[in-house]
Amino acid sequence: MAKSWVNSAERIGADLHLELSGSGGRRAALIDALRAAVRGGRLAPGTRLPPYRSLAEDLGVARNTVADAYAELVAEGWLTARQGSGTRVAERARPLRAQPMRHAVKGPVTAPPRARAPRHDLRQGTPDASAFPRAAWLASYRRALQQAPDEVFGPGDPAGRVELREALTEYLARVRGVRTAPDRIVICSGFAHGLRLLFGQGGGGPLRGPLAVESYGLGFHRELLRTAGVRTVPLPVDEHGACVEELTRERAVLLTPAHQFPTGGPLHAERRTAVVDWARAQGGVVLEDDYDGEFRYDRKPVGALQGLDPERVILLGSVSKSLSPALRLGWMVLPERYVEGVLTTKGEREAWASVLDQLSLADLIVSGSYDRHVRRMRQRYRSRRDRLVAALAARAPHIEVTGVAAGLHAVLRLPPGTERTALKAAAWQGVALDGLADFRHPEAATADQDGLVVGYATPSEAAFAAALEALCEVLPPDGSAGVPAAG
Ligand SMILES: Cc1ncc(COP(=O)(O)O)c(C=O)c1O
C-alpha cells in the first residue's frame, strides 16, 4: 500500500507530503506519517492540520481513519485539539522517551524517540530519596562501629545479628502486633531475597509451589518465583483484598494484607480469619508481604496477619519503603518449623546483608530514630496523598482514586480502554508512571482494569507540586481517551 498527498499551502500553511505505506493498515500508516512529519520538522509546532473530511478526501481514506489517527496522536501528545481552533501540532518541541518501568515484565511503554530522563518521576516503588535520614543513620552507624566487638568483623551468623533480631522482635510487636522471638527471625536482604530463601533455586528452600498469588502484584516477584521453578496461581482481588475463599488445592499463598499491592484494598477482617483457617485446615502457610504496613493515614494500621497465628503465617518485611531500597535489608518472621530450612538455604555464613548495616539499623530502632523517621515520612506522604486527591477532585473529578489512604502509591481508575493512551501521553509529557496492566498476572481470569499507579512518594518535596501539575495535564478528559474536537 502506498498513498501520497501533497497539501496546499493555504490549508495548513506549509506544503506537506505524506507517504502512507506499510502493512499495518491505513490508520497506523497515517499515524506513522504524521509522527514522522512532526519529528522531521515538516509540521512545525502550532501548525493547524486539515479537517478530517478534507484530509480523508485527499488521501482517499475514510473520515474515521483520520479522526482515529488524530485522536491517537492527541493522546500521545503530538497534537492538541481545542474546540474552535481545530487540531494543531503540539507546542512541545521534542518527544521524551519513557524510562523502562521497574518491575514490569511486559517491557517498557515505548514512546516516541530521542531519549531523555523523565522530568517527573511518579513511578511507584521508591520512597522520597531526598528524605533518607542521613544524620541519624550516620550517628547510628558510628555508635554501632564504636561498640561492635571484634567478632563482628569476622564471618556473620546467617540468622543475622542478634542485636537486630532483638530490636525487631520488640519493634514489630509494638507497631505491627507481630508475635515472635529473636530465634524465629532471619535477616535477609529484602523481600525478594526472602522469597528466594523460602523457595530456593529449583526447589532448595523449605517451601514448594504451586503458590497462590494475588492477580495483581509485582511482575518482578512472579518472575523471580518462575525462575525458582514455582508456578504461581492467580487469586482474584477486589476492594477487600484477595478473594481467599477461592483458594483451592495450593498449600501456600502470598498476600499483601495491609494494603493490596497495587490496587490498595486492605484484606477484609473476615478474609483475614478465613485465610488463617484455610492454612490450618490445609496444613499450609500464608506468606505476608508487609511492604508498607506502617503507612496508614486514615486510621491506625491494622495489625499484621502474623499475629493471628505465628505458626501458619510467615511475615516478610524490609526497610525498602521506610528508609531506602538501596540498603537491601529485610527480615523474615518464621514459624519454628521453617527456621532450619531457611538457614540451610542461606548457607553457613552471612553472605547478603552487611553486618555493620544490621547493627546500624538495630541502633536506629533502639534509639527511637527509626520511629521518628517513620512518623515524619507518614506525615509527608499523607499530605502528598491528600494533595493528589484534592487536585483530582478539582481538575479531573471523573477519575477516582481507589484503595484506602495508605502507602506510597495510589491507583487512579481510568475509563475502560484508556490506559495505554494515557501512559503514552504521560511519557510524551515527561511524566513517568506505571499502568495497572503491568501488574496483572498473565493468567488472571478477571477482566482488565484500566488505571494508573501513581508513586506519590517518589519525587522530592521540592519536585512534588510540579509532578502533580504535570500528572493532571495528562489525564484523559471526561468521557473519552482524548478525542480531538477538530474535524
Ligand atoms: C509489593 C512489594 N513487596 C515488597 C517490596 C519490598 O521489596 P524489597 O524488600 O525486596 O526491596 C516492595 C517494594 O518496595 C513492594 O512493592
Exposed/middle/buried for residue 258 (C-beta within 10 Å: 0-12, 13-18, 19+): buried
Q: Measured from the CB, is residue 219 less than 6 Å from ligand 1?
A: no
d(CA 285, ligand 1 centre) in Å: 20
Ligand 1 atom 4, closest CA: 291
Query: Where is pLDDT greater, at 17 or 87?
Result: 87
328-376 tens-digit pLDDT: 999 999 999 999 999 999 999 999 999 999 999 999 999 999 999 999 9
Residue 197, phi-psi category: left (phi > 0), alpha (psi -120 to 50), beta (remainder): alpha
335 close to 314: Cβ distance less than 8 angstroms = yes
> In angstroms, rounded to a whole number, what is the distance separating the alpha carbons of residues 419 and 449?
9
- pTM reported for the whole predicted model: 0.78
Percent of the chain with pLDDT over 90: 68
373 close to 415: Cβ distance less than 8 angstroms = no
Exposed/middle/buried for residue 84 (C-beta within 10 Å: 0-12, 13-18, 19+): exposed
Residue with cell 552471612: 350
33-69 tens-digit pLDDT: 888 888 777 788 888 888 888 888 888 888 888 888 8
Check residue 42 and give its pLDDT. 77
Q: Measured from the CB, is residue 459 less than 6 Å from ligand 1?
A: no
250 close to 225: Cβ distance less than 8 angstroms = no
Q: Measured from the CB, is residue 320 less than 6 Å from ligand 1?
A: yes
Average pLDDT, the chain: 88
Exposed/middle/buried for residue 416 (C-beta within 10 Å: 0-12, 13-18, 19+): exposed
Check residue 111 and give its pLDDT. 42
425 close to 482: Cβ distance less than 8 angstroms = yes
Helices and strands (DSSP H and E) totals, the chain: 14, 19
> In angstroms, rounded to a whole number, what is the distance separating the alpha carbons of residues 384 and 210?
39
Check residue 116 and give its pLDDT. 53
| Ligand 1 atom closest to the CA of 218, numbered from 1 | 1
d(CA 433, ligand 1 centre) in Å: 17
Q: How far is CA 241 from CA 103, 107, 186, 254, 259, in A?
A: 21, 26, 28, 12, 8
Q: How many CB atoms lie within 10 A of CB 135?
A: 9
Q: Which residues have a Cβ under 8 Å from the Cβ of 361 and sit 6 or more positions away? A: 140, 164, 167, 319, 327, 329, 370
Q: Measured from the CB, is residue 289 less than 6 Å from ligand 1?
A: yes
Q: Measured from the CB, is residue 330 less than 6 Å from ligand 1?
A: yes
Q: Measured from the CB, is residue 257 less than 6 Å from ligand 1?
A: no
330 CA to centre of own chain:
19
Give the pLDDT mean for 232-249.
95
d(CA 258, ligand 1 centre) in Å: 13
398 close to 67: Cβ distance less than 8 angstroms = no
Check residue 203 and give its pLDDT. 64
Q: Measured from the CB, is residue 291 less than 6 Å from ligand 1?
A: yes
Check residue 202 and give its pLDDT. 61
Check residue 59 and give its pLDDT. 86
Q: Measured from the CB, is residue 266 less than 6 Å from ligand 1?
A: no
d(CA 110, ligand 1 centre) in Å: 25
Ligand 1 mutation target, pool 320, 321, 322, 324, most atoms within 8 A of CB? 320
| Ligand 1 atom closest to the CA of 192, numbered from 1 | 10
Alpha helices in 101-152 (DSSP H): 134-147
Ligand 1 atom 12, closest CA: 291
Q: Measured from the CB, is residue 407 less than 6 Å from ligand 1?
A: no
166-175 tens-digit pLDDT: 999 999 999 9
What is the helix (H) or strand (E) element at residue 358, kind and residue range?
helix 355-366
* Cell numbers given for 281: 485446615
406-419 tens-digit pLDDT: 999 999 999 888 99
Ligand 1 mutation target, pool 126, 191, 441, most atoms within 8 A of CB? 191
* Cell numbers given for 378: 507518614
Check residue 486 and give its pLDDT. 32
> In angstroms, rounded to a whole number, what is the distance separating the alpha carbons of residues 217 and 213?
8
Ligand 1 atom 7, closest CA: 191
pLDDT band at 165 (very low <50, low <70, confident <90, very high): very high
Check residue 32 and give its pLDDT. 85
d(CA 167, ligand 1 centre) in Å: 21
Give the pLDDT mean for 434-450.
90
266 close to 299: Cβ distance less than 8 angstroms = no
335 close to 285: Cβ distance less than 8 angstroms = yes
Check residue 348 and give its pLDDT. 93
Answer yes or no: is pLDDT of 14 > 90: no
Residue 245, phi-psi category: left (phi > 0), alpha (psi -120 to 50), beta (remainder): alpha
Percent of the chain with pLDDT over 70: 88
Q: To 10 degrees, the CA torsion angle through 241, 426, 433, 421?
A: 50
Q: Which residues pair with 412 in a beta bridge?
A: 401, 452
String of DSSP letters for 420-452: HHHHHHHHHTTEE-EEGGGGB-TT--SPP--EE
91-146 tens-digit pLDDT: 764 443 444 444 434 433 444 444 457 899 999 999 999 999 999 999 999 999 99
* Cell numbers given for 124: 511507584
Q: Which residues have a Cβ under 8 Å from the Cβ of 360 and sit 6 or more positions away? A: 137, 140, 141, 144
Comparing CA positions, the residue from 267, 275, 269, 287 lying closest to residue 335 is 287
Give the pLDDT mean for 153-180.
97
187-210 tens-digit pLDDT: 999 999 999 999 986 668 999 999
pLDDT band at 148 (very low <50, low <70, confident <90, very high): very high
Ligand 1 atom 6, closest CA: 191
Domains recognised in the chain with CATH numbers: 2-89 (1.10.10.10), 132-368 (3.40.640.10), 372-474 (3.90.1150.10)
Check residue 107 and give its pLDDT. 37
Check residue 109 and give its pLDDT. 40
Check residue 5 and give its pLDDT. 53
| Ligand 1 atom closest to the CA of 330, numbered from 1 | 9
Ligand 1 mutation target, pool 225, 288, 318, 409, most atoms within 8 A of CB? 318
Check residue 8 and give its pLDDT. 44
Q: To 10 degrees, the CA torsion angle through 356, 362, 364, 370?
A: 130
Q: Measured from the CB, is residue 218 less than 6 Å from ligand 1?
A: yes
Give the pLDDT mean for 272-282.
96
484 close to 440: Cβ distance less than 8 angstroms = no
As a whole number of angstroms, the longest Cα–Cα distance in the chain is 84
Q: Measured from the CB, is residue 216 less than 6 Å from ligand 1?
A: no
